[in-house]
Each structure stands twice: as C-alpha cells, then as structure tokens.
Amino acid sequence: MHVRTHVALLAVSALFGLAAGGCTDGTPGAVVSCMPPECPTDTTLRLVAEVDPPNDSTWVRQEFASLTLDTQTGLFALTLDAQVTLSGTVRVGKGTGSQTIPATVVATRPSRIAGRPDVYYQATVNPITGEFALVVPRSLPGEQYAVRVTAINSSLVPPKQLMVTADGDQDVDLRFDDPLTLPEIRGALLDSLGQPVPGVQVQAIDTTTLAALSTTTTTDDQGAYSVRLVPNPPATVRVVATPTLPAAQLPSLTLDLSTAKLSPTNSMTANLHVPPLAAPAHITFKVVGMGTSGAEIVEKAATCVFTADVSDPNATDGVKASYRATAMTDLLGQVDVALIPMASGNRTYAVIVSPDSQSDLSATATTVSIAPGMGYGKDIVLPLRPQVSGQVLDPQGKPLSKLMVVPGASTVAQSLGPNMTLGIAVTPRQTVADGDGRFALRLDRGVWDIGLIPPADSMLPRLWLTNAVLDADVDVGPVMLPRGVMVHGVVHDPRGVALPLANVRLYTINELNAGCSSGDSNCLVPPRLRAEGSSGADGVLSLILPSQPK
Amino acid sequence: MNSALYGLVVYGVGCVIPTPLDQTQQTPNYSPVFVTSQVQPRFGPLGPLSQSQLLSITMVASDANLDDTLQARLFELINGTLVATGQTTTLNPIVPAGDDATLRLGGFELALCAGKAPASIHYIYAVVADRGFQSPTSSVVSGNGLSDTNHWELSCM
C-alpha cells in the first residue's frame, strides 16, 4: 500500500515538477509558485474524499474516510480499494418450475464518512436469464451491505433483503420464494357504512424501518385485498392502506398486526374500516407575512401540507386513520384545500408551509383549526426570514466579487428536517457577492453553515462559516479568505492504473462527529465540501485548499 | 468611368450601412449539456428507494461559454407538467480547470421518495440552464438562455 502510494506520488511529482505544491498569492488571476514548506496545506483540516468513477468504468463510487495529504509537497493519492462482484440469479420458486422475473437489485450501507448519505449501488437483472452482477467496494471489517431485490411488479412477490459481507466475489441467493407458500394477510377495506372501498393500495411494512414486507396490491371492486408477506416476518407488521388518487380525499389507514396470529394455513384476515368522517370541505387560507418595509406581502408559491389524525376515538379494531392534503398557494397567496372537518366541533390540522427559496418569508410549522361549514380559514402568517450578510475579502483585504454564497444545514438532522420527510425539502437560497464583496440572503430560522465559493479566476479556496445562528438578522462582518495552496492528486486502481474522468470531492469533517454514534443525525455535522474536480486522462487532478494560517 | 462610379457607390453604401461592431465581437451562446457519463446515479431507472433513503446526486454539465453560470433544477413530471421539487443549485467550474475547462460540478442530497406512495413510479427530470430560470419554480430558462434535460425513472418502496 505504502509502496503503491509512493509510486503514485512520484508519478505526480514527475508530472508537475517544481510546480507541485505551488500556491496562489491571492491576486485574482495570478498564480505563483512557492517552494515547500513556505505554504503547506492547512494541517488542521481533517480531509476525507469521495470518488465517483465515470459510469462506463468498471469502478464504482468509493469513499476515503481519511485522506493522507503530504503537506510539504501538496500531493495525495486516491487508491481505489478492491471491488467484489455479488452475482446470482433472480427467479421465483425453486427447481425446474422456477421462473425469471423483471427485478432490480440494490445494495446499500452506511457511508464510511460520518454524516454523508448511505452509499447506494444498483444492478439491473437480465430479463431473459434473471442473472445479475452487482459490483461494490470490498467490505471493511464489520461492514455489511443490505442487498435488496425487488420485483418490478411489486404485486407478484414481496421484496427480499439479505445482509452480505462483501469480502470476496460471491453468489448471493436472491431467489424469491413461491408467493403461494408465503404468509398471507387478506381482508377488505370498508367505509363506515360497511360499503367496499375499491382502488386503495395495500401493503405491509416494518413498524420500525417502514420497509416494505409484502407484495403491494389494490383493493378490488369488493374492497378485498390479499398480500403475501416475506418468509419469517417480524412479530408485528403494519398494514398500510393508501389512497392512490389524492382526489379520492380518503384517509390513509394503518393497522399493526401480530404475525403470531397467522393460522395453520399461514394466513390471517384483517378488515380495515374507514372511520365515520364528515365529507371533505374546500377551505381557503391566505398565506401572508410582513415584508422588510413593514407592508404585508402574500406568499405566492409555497407548498402547504395539512395533516390530521382522523382516527375514530371509539374504534376498538386498532385502525389508525390519518388524512393529508397538499396544495400550493396561488398568485394571490391563497391556498384552496379539501379538509375533513369534525362532524361537530373543531378539528386541528398540523400545517407545514414551505415557501420557495427566493421568498423573504420563512418555512413554518403551525396548526389550523377548522370547523364544519367553514369556507375561509384564518390567515397563515409566516415570519420574515432572517438575513445573513457580510463582506468577503481576499487575503490582501480587497473585496472579492462574484463569490458564490451557498448555505448548508449545520446538522444532519436539520438537513433531514420535517420538510424533507414530507418530500417538500427546498434548497436554501444561494447568492453571489456584489462588486464590493458584499452579500445578503434570507434563510429560514435555524443554525446554518455558510459556504463561500470564490470565483474560478481568483484561485482561492472555499471557506465555511460554521454555526451561524439565525433567529434575527446577522452580519458576519468582513470575512477574509485564506490563501490557497494547490494540491495535486492521482486516482488509480489497486494495480496503479490511472482512472480518468473520475469526480473527486474533498470534504472536511468536524472533529465532534467522532463522538456521535452512527446514524445520530442530531449529533452529526455534515462534512463540508472544500474542493471538487475531475481527473484528467492521466488520472491526475489539481485542487485548491486553504494554506497553513500564519 | 463606370467602374469608378460603381466603386464610389459601393463605398457610399459602406458608409451608410456600417457593420455593427458588437455583431462581429459577439460570442455565440452554446447550450449547456449534461455529461451523462459522469452524472450519478446515472439517468434511467433508479431505485426502488425507501422514503427515508437520502441520495447523493452528482450533477456534471459542460458549457463551452466559460463565463456562463449554470443552474440545475429538479422537477417531477406530473400530468405532463414539470413541477419543481424545490431543488436548485449552481454548478461550479472546476478550480483550477483541468483537462476540460467547460466542466461544471454540483449536486443534490435529498430523499427522492419522501412523501411518495409505496410501490409508485415517478419521473424526475433534471434541467441545466445557462441563464437561470424565469421564476423559482419554472423550467423555462431566462432570456435567450439554453438548457439541457434528462431524467430518472424513480421507483419508491
């Protein structure tokens, strides 16, 4: 490993000669060389890397949980680890009577870089032979992949998942069991008058991971359904009935079932009853806020999601019912939405309003109370987004114009927030510094990291202002970018063969992440992108990083 | 005599209708294009993903106009209309420019299947534009800008 790395570094040194380790003097457009160790890379940075080989390569995405950068020469090597092939055949049933089935095979595992999304590898299954070959990086000690095969037609067989240690090329048994041999849940979906409800999708899921544990079906004209569970299902599964058309204005139903109740014939019956509910009524809300001038402004393109628990409080069958309606505000700032009121009295809905990124108004979670016969609801008032402003200077103290300002969530939990869960995550506003290097942008209340991406011709490094608390306007004042130092790397395979056209991203990681348990999104701080590039035909790339502060 | 007069006429025409300077100096606007071999996950079938599966998407585009600022935006095709998902980002040039100075990189991180029905199929479009978009939710490029489009066929668990 060391020998290979050394060889690679020597190769890069030969390519770049004395220019290796050259740094910028901060003058826009000018690059000067300084001999090491005059301007080594900032050694306080803890660097990690992700490498995306091109799609037509035999190599797949890999992460480097630590990156060794020679701070004297500015050289580094990204030596891809060995890959293994997980292969097999996807068929339904065993023996001569088995059949191929169109399916996809996906392998995932937590990223080796804490705070980054799970890595994801996908293979398609040959529709004729059922064969698949999925290439993944070799597992590190204790590391496993969740390999999941899902039929394209999810009504035929339930998905199958295996935990695999990818320590070498191997066959993975992803044959589906004959669905007729699998546990069955069947029943009917009926309204409060006992009439069948057709056209509702039914599926069983894991109560913890929410992963699908059954085939997916749709209730027929009699409201009947039947799903097949995975072999050896967990002790409790959740049956979920979801209206397929939003216009159906029906609640989603869930029912937790004990699989211990499966009969000797490996089946059980579970009827789902829609609770008695009033007819949905169209209610109009106006979404407003107060602008910077103090005048009222209407929010013209906000996504509004209304949700309420509409379960029957007197029900004894354990069925939970929830209703959800999504709509966008119009040019008048009004949102018209069909909501289910109580038969008498008020029903409370939770509302999440997500304005677009250019709005001055903040995303807000609130509640509204609706009564029967109500045509207009109270205005939904959004607070003004606090403004973060500042001025960016180059290392000589001159204003730096055309710099891109890119905010990022300060914790993984914030980036995943309630909006993300509902599928309405909005990327925060980005802006460009003006001729005086000044920037100002309005962001939702919270804690933000502010990324500063200098213009390409400045040859300066990116900088992150961390933990900017925005509950009121904040001026971060003048921010001086550090000098840049050019580092040079090579991407190659374990045999030393260079890998061209690979996208490389260098991140810095927060030391506090070491104290977080894996998956603790409230603790983990997202790694910050410091530099990205693409390797050339010789596998070599150059990047700008901050130089050692004096 | 005639030829001299003809030459004078031509000279005069040249004086009356000069060639605009900006016309000769203007650089044509080239369209940005996705570098599909480097976009990950690759365009095409994607998933199935769980509702909570956060995905890191790498967007790579190329634009011969090196001063153009490229923006990429995600949409879902719903009833024949591209509906913005709320994801817009700038694709930045590589610094220092490598072998291909036209390349721009950027990305998204999001749970593409969040809030989507189980066992559903969705068509997620990516649009890259060289003059920005007309509005925060529009797929139409501002001014005389150009764009490129590609998509994933997303299945959700």
Q: Are residues A154 and A205 in the same domain?
A: no
pLDDT of residue B43: 95
Tell me which residue has tokens 């030596």.
A79
Identity of the residue numbered A129: T
- Of A326, A348, A382, which one is at a domain's C-terminal end? A382
pLDDT of residue B34: 96
Of A124, A159, A179, the residue that ends a domain is A179
**Count of positions (residues) in chain A:** 550
Tell me which residue in B90, B96, B117 faces A430 most closely, judged by beta carbons. Answer: B90
pLDDT for A35 = 43
Find the residue in A nearest to B86 (Cα): A426
Residue of A425, A503, A543 with shortest CB distance to B60: A503
Q: Is residue B85 part of a domain?
A: yes
Distance CA A454, CA A437 (A): 10
pLDDT score of A294: 86
Strand partners, A392: A479
Residues A372 and A434 in one domain: no
- Give the N- to C-terminal CA distance of chain A in Å, as an integer: 34
Chain B contacts of A420, Cβ < 8 Å? 110-111, 114
Domain boundary among A139, A156, A179: A179
Dist. CA A255–CA B46, nearest whole Å: 30
- Do A209 and A258 belong together in one domain? yes
Query: Does pTM surpass 0.90?
Result: no
Taking the C-alpha atoms of residue A233 and residue A182, their distance in angstroms, rounded to an integer, is 10
Other CB atoms within 10 Å distance of the CB of residue A457: 16
Domain of A212?
191-265
Q: Where are the beta strands (DSSP E) in A172-295?
A: 184-190, 200-206, 217-218, 224-228, 236-243, 252-258, 267-269, 272-273, 281-290
pLDDT at A422: 62
CATH code, domain with A406: 2.60.40.10
Domain total of chain B:
1
DSSP-derived pairing of the beta strands B55-62 and B103-110: antiparallel
**B54 vs A154: CB contact, 8 Å cut-off?**
no
Return d(Cα A516, Cα A4) in angstroms, integer: 33
Which residues are within 8 A (CB) of A422 and not within 5 positions of it... i.e. 6 or more apart? A305, A352, B114, B115
Burial of A190: CB neighbours in 10 Å, binned 0-12, 13-18, 19+: middle
- Hey, are the CB atoms on B58 and A357 less than 8 Å from each other? no
Task: Note down pLDDT in tens along chain B; length 157 residues.
Answer: 455 545 444 444 445 555 555 555 678 999 999 999 999 999 999 988 888 788 899 999 999 999 899 999 999 998 889 988 888 999 999 888 878 889 999 998 888 888 787 788 899 999 999 998 988 888 899 988 999 999 999 998 8
Same domain, A309 and A370: yes
Contact: B53, A108; criterion CB under 8 Å = yes
Q: How many CB pairs under 8 A join A and B?
A: 161
- Same domain for A160 and A208, yes or no, is no
Instruction: Judge: A210–B52 Cβ closer than 8 Å, yes or no.
Output: yes
Looking up residue B126, the CATH number of its domain turns out to be 2.60.40.10
> How far apart, in whole angstroms, are the C-alpha atoms of residue A73 and residue A78?
16
Unique residue bearing structure tokens 């005389």 = B144
Answer whether residue B7 is part of any domain.
Answer: no
Assigned domain for B10 exists: no
Give contacts of A416 with chain B, Cβ < 8 Å.
Answer: 54, 111
Chain B neighbors of A532, CB-CB under 8 A: 92, 94, 105
Q: Using CB atoms and an 8 Å cut-off, which of residues 16-55 of chain B contact chain A?
A: 36-42, 45-48, 50-55
Contact B133, B142 (CB under 8 A): yes
Residue A402 tokens read as: 């055309």
Within an 8 Å CB–CB cutoff, is residue B98 touching chain A?
Answer: yes
A535 touches chain B (CB under 8 A): yes
Whether residues A285 and A376 fall in one domain: yes
Specify the DSSP element, H or E, that contains A64.
strand A62-64
Q: CB within 8 A of A95, min separation 6: which ones?
A: none
- Do A436 and A488 lie in one domain? The reply is no
Let me know if residue A72 belongs to a domain.
Answer: yes
Give pLDDT, residue A131.
Answer: 93
Q: How far apart are CA A534 and CA A198, in angstroms?
A: 53
Cα first-last separation, chain B:
88
Q: What residues of chain B, 73 to 92, have a C-beta less than 8 Å from chain A?
A: 84, 86-90, 92
How many domains would you assign to chain A? Answer: 5
Q: Which residues of B touch A50 (CB under 8 A)?
A: 56
- What is the rounded distance in angstroms from the CA atom of residue A94 to the CA atom of residue A483? 65
At B146, which amino acid appears?
A: L
Q: Are strands A431-432 and A380-382 parallel, antiparallel or unpaired?
A: unpaired
Q: Return the number of other C-beta atoms located less than 10 Å from residue B111's C-beta.
A: 22
- β-pairing, B121-129 vs B103-110, is unpaired
For A17-141, strand residue ranges (E) read 47-52, 62-64, 69-70, 75-79, 83-89, 91-92, 99-100, 103-109, 119-124, 131-137
Q: Are the Cβ atoms of B92 and A404 closer than 8 angstroms?
A: yes
Q: What is the mean pLDDT of each run of 10 residues along chain A (550 residues)?
A: 38 35 37 45 82 94 91 88 95 85 92 90 88 96 94 92 95 91 95 92 90 92 96 94 77 94 91 92 94 89 92 91 92 94 90 89 92 89 94 94 90 68 73 94 89 91 89 92 91 94 92 77 86 93 82
Q: Are residues A358 and A403 in the same domain?
A: no
- Candidate from A211, A216, A544 with C-beta closest to B119: A216
Confirm whether B11 is domain-assigned.
no
In a domain, A305, yes or no: yes
Vertex A429: Cα angle to A423 and A431 (nearest 5): 155
Residue B13, domain member (yes or no): no
Residues A474 and A500 in one domain: no
Q: What is the reported pLDDT for A419?
A: 61
**Residue A276 domain-assigned?**
no
CATH number at residue A239: 2.60.40
**What residue type is A384 in one-letter code?**
L
Contact B53 A118 (CB under 8 A): yes
Q: Which chain B positions have a beta carbon within 8 Å of A531's beta carbon? A: 95
Q: Where are the beta strands (DSSP E) in A317-470?
A: 320-328, 334-339, 347-354, 364-370, 380-382, 387-393, 404-409, 431-432, 438-442, 446-453, 463-470
Co-location of A495 and A505 in the same domain:
yes
At A9 the pLDDT is: 41
Rounded Cα distance between A240 and A211, Å, is 12
Indicate the residue of B40, B96, B157 with minimum beta-carbon distance to A150. B157
ipTM exceeds 0.90, yes or no: no
Residue B112 lies in a domain: yes
Residues A468 and A489 reside in one and the same domain: no
Domain containing B39: what range? 27-156
> Measured between CB atoms, does B115 come within 8 Å of chain A?
yes
For residues A29 and A401, what is the distance between their CA atoms, to the nearest angstrom?
13
State the maximum Cα–Cα separation within chain B, in Å, rounded to a whole number.
Answer: 88
Residues of A in contact with B155 (CB under 8 A): 104, 150, 152
Tell me: do A58 and A125 sit in the same domain.
no
